[in-house]
C-alpha cells in the first residue's frame, strides 16, 4: 500500500532504538499467544475428544459457516454498493442524511440486530401486529439461515458502504470520461470501468464482512443457525468437551486465514489503477431526474429495515411491558462496566501498537514488516477462539490472572489492536520524517523527538484507532461471556442473559443504552479511516 | 485546554475502574466464599443474599451452566478458586467427585435428606428434588391425547409439536438414565425419531415452557417447576404438567445438589453454606418462594400446594449415583446426532 512513502520516511543508516524493537517484539509475541495455546491444546487431545468432533459434523459446520459468509457478503455488497454510489455520485436529495443513516448501523451489535429483527418480524411480532388490520395474519419466519443473513447484513453492510464510498471518491475520473468519450453508455461505464476500479475497496470490504460473519456468535445463536462459533460455545458449555472445542476453534482459525488469503488475491487480480495522481478533481455528478424516486425508495427501504425498524422495536419494548416476561429494566452497573472496560481496552491498544507502528514507519526492515504483520494477525482471529485460548492460558497459569478483569481486558486488546495499528500506521504515512530529523538536530533524543513531534501529528489516526477499539469492545459478546470475572457483567452479557430466558423486551433499554454509548464514536471514525482499516489485513 | 480536561477525566476514570476492579478481585478482609452455581441467578439470588445477611460471609458467585462449571472445576483441578459447587443435577456432581475434587461431607449433613438424594461416599448431598414431566398446551390438547410414554413422542402425530432443551443438564441426565435402562441403541433410535419429527430446540427449560404457552409447540420435556415460574409472570397461560405412565423414564426424579470443593481452605464457611441450604428458610424458599415449586428434602417443610407428593411420582428404577457414569455417554450421543452443535 505504501512502499513509496515508507522508503521516503526511512533512514537506513540509523538503527531502531532497542526499547522500540523490544516493545514491538513483546506485543507481537502476545499477539501469537492465543493461537499458540490453541494449537498446543488441540494437538494434545486424545481419541475420545476427537470422537466429539466427527468429520461429517465438522464438515457440515464449515460448509454452513461458509455459505452464511457467502450469503452475507453478497447481500451486503448488493445493499452497500448501490447505496454508496447514490450518496457519492448522484444528486440524490438529502445525501448527507442518507450517508449518516447508512453508516449508523455500525453501532448496533449483531445480537441486538438479531433480537430486534426477531421481535419485529416474528410470527406474532410487531410488523405482523401492525399489518393485522390489513388482513395479514402471518409472515414468513426470519429465523435460521435467512434470519442470520438478514441480521448480519444489517451489521456489515455499513462497512461495504463506507469502503465503497471512499473508493468511489478516489476513482480516477479520466478513465470514466475516456470510456464515455469512446461511446460507452452510463450502465456500461459503471459495469466496466467504475465497478472494476472499485475492486480494491470491494475486496477489502468482502474480507471485513466475511471475517465478521466467521466470528459472529450472538446473531447466529439467536437466529438458531449453527456455525463453528456456536458449536465451539456449545462444547464449552457442555460436559468435559473443551478439547473438542479447541479443535473446532483451530478449524475456525484456519477458515479465517483461508478467507484472508483469498481476499488478498481478489484484490490484486485485475485491478485498475489511477493514471494520474488526480488531486482535487471531482467526478461529474450524475443527475437522477425522475430516477430519484426509485433511488429514494431504495434508501428508505434499506435504512428503514436496518436502522429505523430495529430502533423502533427497541423503543417500543422499552416503553411497554411484555405479557410473558414482564417489565424492562436498565442495568446501569453493566453500562459503567461496558464503557470503562472499552475505554481501558482502547487506551491500552492505542499505546501497545505504537512501537510496531513507529518501527514500520521510521525504521523499515524485514523484522519491522514481520512484527507489523504479526500484530495485525489477530484481526483474523474470531473472538471466541481468542477467548478459549485465554481460558486455557488462565486456568494453567492460575493465580491472580485466572478469572480476572485483566485477562478479559487482555482479550479485548489482543483481538482489536490490529484496528489501532492500521489506523496509526496510516496517519504516520502522511508525516514527513524531516520534522523528526529537525527535532533531533535541535538536540532531542530520537524517542523524545518522536513523542514531542510525531505523535501529536498522528493524533487523529491514533484517536480514530482507539475509537474503533472502543466501539468493537462495547459490542463484544463471546469473549466477554467466557472470560468475565465473577460478578462482572457488561451490557452485552446482560442482554445475552435476558435473551436466554426469553426476556427479549426486558433487555431493550439496555440495548438502547449500548447503542447510545457507541454512537458518538461513529463521528470519530471518518470514512478515510474505515478505508484504512479495510486496507490493512 | 479542553483536551487536558478530557485527558484528566479519562485518567481519573481509568484509575477508579482499576481500583474497583482490584477491589472486586482481591480477597476481602471478611470471610468470603466462592460459589460455583449451576442454579439460575434469577431463582437463587435471594438465598445467596440471605446467607450473607445471616452469617456475614460474603459470597462471590459464578453463575453458569452446571455442565460448564463441572468442566471448569476439572480444568482448574487443585488450583480452583471455588469453595462450593451447587449443581442443578447429580451427574455433574458425581463426575467432579469421581476425580477427587469434592470433600466428603459429614454424616450429619447427608442424614438430613432421604438416602436416594446422596451417595454412600457422601461427596454431594441433594438440596431439592424435581421431576421430569411433559408440559403441554391445554388449549391445543386434552390430557387424554397425551402420550403414555416418551417413546410415543416419535409418532408422526407430534411432528413439529415437541420442544426440548438439549443443552440443559437435567435433560442430559434424563437421557443418561434412559441409556442405562434401555441401551444406547434404543435411545439413539428415539432421538433420530424425534429429529424426523422436527423436534424444536430451545436454550433452556424456561423458553420451552414459554413456547408451549404461546402455542409454538404443543408439548415440552422439562422439569416440573418451570411451569410455576412462568405462570408467576403470566398466570393466564394455558399450560399444565403431565406425568407419563408409571416407571417411564420421562418421570425421572432428579435432585439439585451441593458439594464442598476439595481444594477449598474455607471448609467451615463452606459447610455453613451447605447447612444453610438445608435450613427451613431456604428449603421453604426453594419449595414455595415466588414462582418456586421444587420438592423440599428436609422433614417438616411442606411442598407447594397442588403438587403431587414426591412418593406418588412413579419414576424409573434408577439410582442417581449412577449418573456420573451415564451422563457422559448422553452428551456424546447428543453431540454425535447434532442435538448439540
Taking alpha carbons only, the member of B29, B25, B86, B33 closest to residue B58 is B33
The pLDDT assigned to A336 comes to 95
Which of A54, A238, A400 lies nearest to residue B67, judging by beta carbons? A238
What rounded mean pLDDT belongs to chain B? 90
Choose, out of A45, A60, A229, A238, the residue to mutate when testing the contact with B (most B CBs < 10 Å): A238
Instruction: Give residue B262's domain range.
Output: 29-129+253-312
**What is the domain-level CATH number for residue B55?**
3.40.190.10
ipTM of this complex: 0.80
**pLDDT tens string B161-204:** 999 999 888 999 999 999 999 999 999 999 999 999 999 998 88
- Would you say residue A350 has pLDDT above 90? yes
pLDDT at A110: 94
Confidence band (pLDDT; 50, 70, 90) for A402?
confident
Give per-residue pLDDT as tens, A47-61: 877 777 878 888 999
- Total structural domains within chain A: 2
Per-residue pLDDT, averaged over B24-30, amounts to 47
pLDDT, position A84: 93
State whether B60 and A236 contact (CB < 8 Å).
no
pLDDT at residue A267 tops 70: no
- Are the beta carbons of A61 and B341 separated by less than 8 Å? yes
Residues A310, A214 within the same domain? yes
DSSP SS3 for B155: coil
Which of A5-14, A198-207, A273-282, A528-537 is predicted with the least confidence, judged by mean pLDDT? Answer: A528-537
What is the nearest CA distance from A212 to chain B, expressed in angstroms?
A: 20
Please list the residues that pair with B62 across neighbouring strands: B36
Same domain for A98 and A242, yes or no, is yes
Cβ distance of B336 and A347 shorter than 8 Å: no
C-alpha B38/C-alpha B95 separation (Å) is 14
Residue A281 lies in a domain: no
Banded pLDDT at B21 (limits 50, 70, 90)? very low
* A21 and A141 together in one domain: no
Model confidence over A303-313: pLDDT tens digits?
999 999 999 99
pLDDT band (50, 70, 90) for residue A17: confident
pLDDT at A534 over 70: no
A497 and A360 in a common domain: yes
Instruction: Specify the pLDDT at position A475.
Output: 94
B183, part of any domain? yes
pLDDT of residue B10: 52
So what's the pLDDT on residue A126?
75
Q: Are residues A400 and A460 in the same domain?
A: yes
Regarding whether B332 and B193 lie in a shared domain, the answer is: yes
- Write the CATH number for A397: 1.10.3720.10
Once rounded to an integer, what is the mean pLDDT over residues A404-409?
93
User: Looking at the domain assignment, is residue B97 inside a domain?
Assistant: yes
Chain A residue with Cα closest to B235: A324
Integer Cα distance of B28 and A338 in angstroms: 24
> Cβ B68–A488 below 8 Å, yes or no?
no
**Of B46, B112, B52, which is closest to residue B273 (Cα–Cα)?**
B52
Contacts of B2 in chain A (CB under 8 A): none
CA distance B246 to chain A (A): 30
Asked, for residue B7, whether it belongs to a domain, the answer is no
User: Which range in A67-81, A392-406, A515-529, B22-36 is most confidently predicted, on average pLDDT?
Assistant: A67-81
Q: Which residue has better confidence, B42 or A103?
A: A103
Cα torsion through A532, A536, B3, B7, rounded to 10: 160
Q: Residue A127 falls within a domain, yes or no?
A: yes
Residues B279 and B308 in one domain: yes
Same-domain pairing of B271 and B220: no
Residue A525 or A507, more confident: A507
What is the longest distance spanned by two Cα atoms in chain A?
Answer: 81
Instruction: Report helix, strand or coil for A403.
Output: coil
Mean pLDDT for A94-118 is 91
Highest mean pLDDT among A222-236, A263-277, A450-464: A222-236
The share of chain A scoring above pLDDT 70, in percent, equals 88
Query: In this prediction, what percent of chain B has a pLDDT beyond 70?
Result: 91
Please give the average per-residue pLDDT across B203-218, as a whole number: 92
Number of Cβ within a 10 Å radius of residue A10: 17
Q: In this structure, are B38 and B108 located in the same domain?
A: yes
- Together in a domain, A342 and A429: yes
Looking at residue A498, its pLDDT comes to: 85
**B190 shares its domain with B301:** no
The whole-number pLDDT of residue A303 equals 95
Q: Indicate if the pLDDT at residue B217 is higher than 90.
A: yes
Between the two ends of chain B, the Cα-to-Cα distance in Å is 55
Structural domain contains residue B307: yes
Angle between the N-to-C axes of helices A405-429 and A527-535, in degrees from 0 to 180, rounded to the nearest 10? 100
Among the partner residues A241, A340, A485, nearest to B25 by beta-carbon distance: A485
Q: How confident is the model at residue A274 (pLDDT cuts 50, 70, 90)?
A: low
Higher-pLDDT residue of A454, B273: B273
Statement: residue A63 has pLDDT above 50 = yes
The dihedral of CA B82, B85, B86, B92: what is its sign? positive
Q: What is the pTM of this model?
A: 0.85
Q: What is the pLDDT of residues A153-167, one digit of tens each?
A: 999 999 999 889 888
Rounded alpha-carbon distances, angstroms, from residue A536 to A368, A403, A479, B97, B107: 15, 33, 23, 50, 65
| Pair (A261, A164) in one structural domain | yes
Q: What is the mean pLDDT of chain A?
A: 84
Q: B279 and B216 in one domain?
A: no
pLDDT band at B13 (very low <50, low <70, confident <90, very high): low
A72 and A183 part of one domain? yes
Q: What is the mean pLDDT of residues A36-47?
A: 86
Which domain covers residue A101, as residue numbers? 45-269+292-319
Rounded to whole angstroms, the Cα distance separating B206 from B223 reads 10
- Cα distance between residue A232 and residue A242, in whole Å: 9
Residue B266 sits in the same domain as residue B121: yes
Band of the pLDDT at B159, cuts 50, 70, 90? very high
The pLDDT tens digits for A323-335 are 555 556 788 899 9
* Domain presence at residue B160: yes
A52 at interface of B, judged by CB pairs closer than 8 A:
yes
Cβ–Cβ of B214/A324 closer than 8 Å? yes
Q: β-strand B58-63 against B239-242: which pairing, if any?
A: unpaired
Shared domain check, B138 and B54? no
Residues A438 and A511 in one domain: yes
- Nearest CB neighbour to A239, from listed B10, B13, B328: B328
Within this chain, do residues A180 and A203 fall inside the same structural domain, yes or no?
yes
B160 and B220 co-located in one domain? yes
Question: What average pLDDT does range A79-105 have in this prediction?
Answer: 91
Closest Cα in chain B to A336 = B17
For cell 485491478, what's the residue?
A: A271
Is the pLDDT assigned to residue B30 strictly greater than 80?
no
Q: Nearest 5°: phi and psi at B254?
A: -115, 175
Mutation site for A-interface testing, chosen from B168, B203, B229 by largest number of A Cβ within 10 Å = B203
Give me the mean pLDDT over the B97-121 stretch: 95
> Which residues from chain B sit within 8 angstroms of residue A242, using beta carbons?
71, 75
Asked if A107 and A251 sit in the same domain, the reply is yes
Q: Scan residues 451-510 of A and list those with Cβ closer than 8 Å to B.
A: 485-488, 497, 500-502
Residues of B within 8 A of A488 (CB-CB) are: 24
First-last CA distance in chain A = 11
**CA-to-CA distance for B225 and B291, rounded, in angstroms?**
8
In a domain, A194, yes or no: yes
Asked whether residue A311 is domain-assigned, the answer is yes
Three-state secondary-structure class, residue B34:
strand
Residues of chain A with pLDDT > 90: what percent?
A: 40
pLDDT given for residue B120 in this prediction: 92
Count the domains in chain B.
Answer: 2
Between CA B291 and CA B21 the distance in angstroms is 34
Q: Give domain status of residue B194, yes or no.
A: yes
User: Which residue from B68, B81, B336 is facing A237, i.e. has the nearest CB?
Assistant: B68
| B225: in domain | yes
Q: What is the pLDDT of residue B323?
A: 92
**For residues B203 and B165, is the Cβ–Cβ distance under 8 A?**
yes
**In chain A, which residues have their Cβ closer than 8 Å to the Cβ of B34?**
486
Answer yes or no: do A306 and A338 share one domain.
no
What mean pLDDT is predicted for residues B219-238?
Answer: 92
Together in a domain, B93 and B221: no
- Mark whether B330 and B198 lie in a shared domain: yes
Residue A229 pLDDT grade (very low, low, confident, very high; cuts 50, 70, 90): very high
Cell numbers found for residue B179: 441409556
B238 in any annotated domain: yes
Q: Which residues contact B67 (CB under 8 A, 6 or more apart)?
A: A237, A238, A239, B38, B92, B167, B169, B172, B331
Mean pLDDT of A31-50: 86
Residues B186 and B153 in one domain: yes
Q: Pairing mode, if any, of strands B162-164 and B219-223?
A: parallel
pLDDT at residue A33 in the model: 87
Residue pLDDT, tens place only, B249-290: 999 999 999 999 999 999 999 999 999 999 999 999 999 988
Cβ burial A197-224 (10 Å sphere, 16+ → b, else e)? bbbbbbbbbbbbbbbbbbbbbbbbbbbb
Q: Does residue A279 lie in a domain region? A: no
Confidence of residue B43 (pLDDT cuts 50, 70, 90): confident
Among partner residues B41, B234, B336, which is closest to A324 by beta-carbon distance?
B234
- pLDDT at residue number A535: 40
- Phi-psi category of residue B340: left, alpha or beta, with phi > 0 → left and psi -120 to 50 → alpha: beta
**Residues 383-402 (A) with a CB less than 8 A from some CB of B:** 391, 395, 398-400, 402
Unique residue bearing C-alpha cell 468432533? A53
Locate the chain B residue with the closest alpha carbon to A408.
Answer: B21
pLDDT given for residue A413 in this prediction = 95
Amino acid at each position: 500500500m505504501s512502499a513509496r512513502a515508507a522508503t521516503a520516511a526511512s533512514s537506513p543508516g540509523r538503527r531502531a532504538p532497542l526499547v522500540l524493537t523490544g516493545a514491538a517484539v513483546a506485543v507481537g509475541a502476545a499477539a501469537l499467544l492465543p493461537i499458540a495455546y490453541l494449537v498446543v491444546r488441540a494437538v494434545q487431545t486424545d481419541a475420545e475428544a476427537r470422537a466429539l468432533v466427527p468429520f461429517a459434523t465438522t464438515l457440515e459446520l464449515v460448509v454452513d459457516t461458509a455459505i452464511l459468509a457467502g450469503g452475507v457478503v453478497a447481500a451486503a455488497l448488493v445493499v452497500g454498493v448501490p447505496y454508496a454510489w447514490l450518496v457519492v455520485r448522484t444528486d440524490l436529495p438529502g445525501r448527507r442524511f442518507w450517508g449518516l443513516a447508512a453508516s449508523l448501523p455500525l453501532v448496533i451489535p449483531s445480537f441486538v440486530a438479531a433480537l430486534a429483527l426477531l421481535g419485529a418480524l416474528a410470527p406474532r411480532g410487531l410488523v405482523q401486529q401492525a399489518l393485522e388490520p390489513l388482513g395479514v395474519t402471518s409472515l414468513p419466519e426470519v429465523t435460521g439461515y435467512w434470519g442470520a443473513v438478514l441480521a448480519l447484513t444489517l451489521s456489515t453492510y455499513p462497512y461495504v458502504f463506507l469502503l465503497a464510498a471512499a473508493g468511489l471518491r478516489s476513482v480516477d475520473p479520466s478513465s470514466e470520461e475516456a470510456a464515455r468519450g469512446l461511446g460507452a453508455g452510463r450502465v456500461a461505464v459503471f459495469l466496466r470501468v467504475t465497478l472494476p476500479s472499485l475492486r480494491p475497496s470491494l475486496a477489502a470490504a468482502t474480507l471485513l464482512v466475511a471475517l465478521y460473519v466467521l466470528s459472529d456468535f450472538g446473531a447466529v445463536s439467536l437466529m438458531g443457525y449453527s456455525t463453528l462459533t456456536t458449536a465451539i460455545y456449545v462444547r464449552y458449555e457442555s460436559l468435559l468437551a473443551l478439547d473438542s472445542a479447541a479443535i473446532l476453534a483451530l478449524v475456525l482459525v484456519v477458515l479465517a486465514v483461508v478467507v484472508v488469503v483469498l481476499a488478498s488475491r481478489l484484490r490484486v487480480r485485475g485491478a485498475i489503477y489511477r493514471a494520474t495522481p488526480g488531486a482535487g478533481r471531482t467526478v461529474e455528478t450524475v443527475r437522477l431526474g425522475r430516477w430519484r424516486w426509485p433511488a429514494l425508495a431504495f434508501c428508505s427501504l434499506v435504512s428503514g429495515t436496518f436502522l429505523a425498524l430495529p430502533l423502533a422495536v427497541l423503543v417500543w419494548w422499552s416503553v411497554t411491558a411484555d405479557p410473558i416476561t414482564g417489565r424492562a429494566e436498565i442495568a446501569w452497573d453493566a453500562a459503567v462496566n461496558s464503557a470503562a472496560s472499552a475505554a481501558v481496552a482502547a487506551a491500552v491498544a492505542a499505546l501497545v501498537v505504537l512501537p510496531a507502528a513507529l518501527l514500520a514507519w521510521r525504521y523499515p526492515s524485514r523484522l519491522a514488516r514481520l512484527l507489523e504483520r504479526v500484530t495485525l494477525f489477530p484481526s483474523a482471529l474470531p473472538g471466541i477462539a481468542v477467548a478459549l485460548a485465554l481460558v486455557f492460558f488462565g486456568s494453567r497459569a492460575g493465580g491472580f490472572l485466572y478469572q480476572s478483569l485483566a485477562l478479559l481486558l487482555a482479550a479485548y486488546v489482543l483481538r482489536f489492536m490490529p484496528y489501532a495499528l492500521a489506523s496509526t500506521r496510516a496517519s504516520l504515512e502522511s508525516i514527513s520524517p524531516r520534522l523528526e530529523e529537525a527535532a533531533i538536530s535541535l538536540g532531542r533524543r530520537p524517542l523524545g523527538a518522536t513523542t514531542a513531534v510525531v505523535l501529536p501529528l498522528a493524533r487523529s489516526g491514533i484517536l480514530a484507532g482507539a475509537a474503533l477499539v472502543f466501539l468493537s469492545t462495547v459490542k463484544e459478546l463471546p469473549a466477554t461471556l467466557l472470560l468475565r470475572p465473577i460478578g462482572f457483567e457488561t451490557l452485552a452479557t446482560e442482554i445475552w442473559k435476558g435473551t436466554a430466558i426469553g426476556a427479549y423486551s426486558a433487555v431493550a433499554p439496555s440495548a438502547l443504552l449500548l447503542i447510545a454509548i457507541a454512537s458518538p464514536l461513529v463521528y470519530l471514525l471518518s470514512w478515510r479511516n474505515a478505508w484504512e482499516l479495510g486496507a490493512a489485513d | 485546554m479542553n483536551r487536558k480536561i478530557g485527558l484528566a477525566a479519562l485518567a481519573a476514570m481509568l484509575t477508579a475502574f482499576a481500583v474497583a476492579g482490584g477491589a472486586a478481585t482481591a480477597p476481602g478482609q471478611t470471610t468470603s466464599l466462592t460459589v460455583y452455581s449451576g442454579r439460575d441467578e434469577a431463582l437463587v439470588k435471594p438465598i445467596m443474599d440471605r446467607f450473607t445477611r445471616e452469617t456475614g460471609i460474603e459470597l462471590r458467585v459464578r453463575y453458569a451452566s452446571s455442565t460448564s462449571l463441572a468442566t471448569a472445576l476439572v480444568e482448574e483441578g487443585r488450583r480452583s478458586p471455588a469453595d462450593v459447587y451447587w449443581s442443578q443435577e447429580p451427574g455433574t456432581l458425581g463426575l467432579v467427585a469421581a476425580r477427587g475434587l469434592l470433600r466428603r461431607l459429614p454424616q450429619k449433613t447427608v442424614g438430613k435428606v432421604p438416602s436416594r438424594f446422596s451417595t454412600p461416599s457422601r461427596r454431594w448431598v441433594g438440596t431439592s428434588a424435581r421431576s421430569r414431566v411433559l408440559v403441554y398446551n391445554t388449549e391445543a390438547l386434552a390430557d387424554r391425547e397425551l402420550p403414555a410414554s416418551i417413546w410415543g413422542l416419535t409418532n408422526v402425530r407430534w411432528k413439529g409439536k415437541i420442544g426440548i432443551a438439549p443443552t440443559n443438564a437435567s435433560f442430559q441426565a434424563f437421557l443418561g438414565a434412559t441409556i442405562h435402562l434401555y441401551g444406547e441403541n434404543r435411545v439413539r433410535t428415539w432421538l433420530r425419531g424425534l429429529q424426523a419429527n422436527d423436534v424444536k430446540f430451545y436454550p433452556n427449560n424456561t423458553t420451552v415452557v414459554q413456547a408451549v404457552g404461546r402455542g409454538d409447540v404443543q408439548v415440552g420435556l422439562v422439569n416440573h417447576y418451570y411451569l410455576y415460574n412462568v405462570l408467576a409472570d403470566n398466570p393466564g397461560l394455558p399450560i399444565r404438567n403431565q406425568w407419563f405412565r408409571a416407571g417411564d423414564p420421562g418421570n425421572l426424579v432428579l435432585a439439585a445438589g451441593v458439594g464442598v470443593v476439595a481444594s477449598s481452605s474455607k471448609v467451615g464457611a463452606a459447610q455453613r453454606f451447605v447447612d444453610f441450604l438445608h435450613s427451613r428458610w431456604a428449603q421453604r424458599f426453594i419449595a414455595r418462594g415466588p414462582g418456586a415449586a421444587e420438592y423440599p428434602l428436609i422433614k417438616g417443610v411442606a411442598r407447594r400446594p397442588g403438587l403431587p407428593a414426591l412418593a406418588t411420582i412413579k419414576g424409573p428404577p434408577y439410582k442417581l449415583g449412577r449418573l456420573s457414569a451415564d451422563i457422559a455417554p448422553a452428551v456424546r450421543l447428543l453431540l454425535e446426532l447434532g442435538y448439540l452443535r
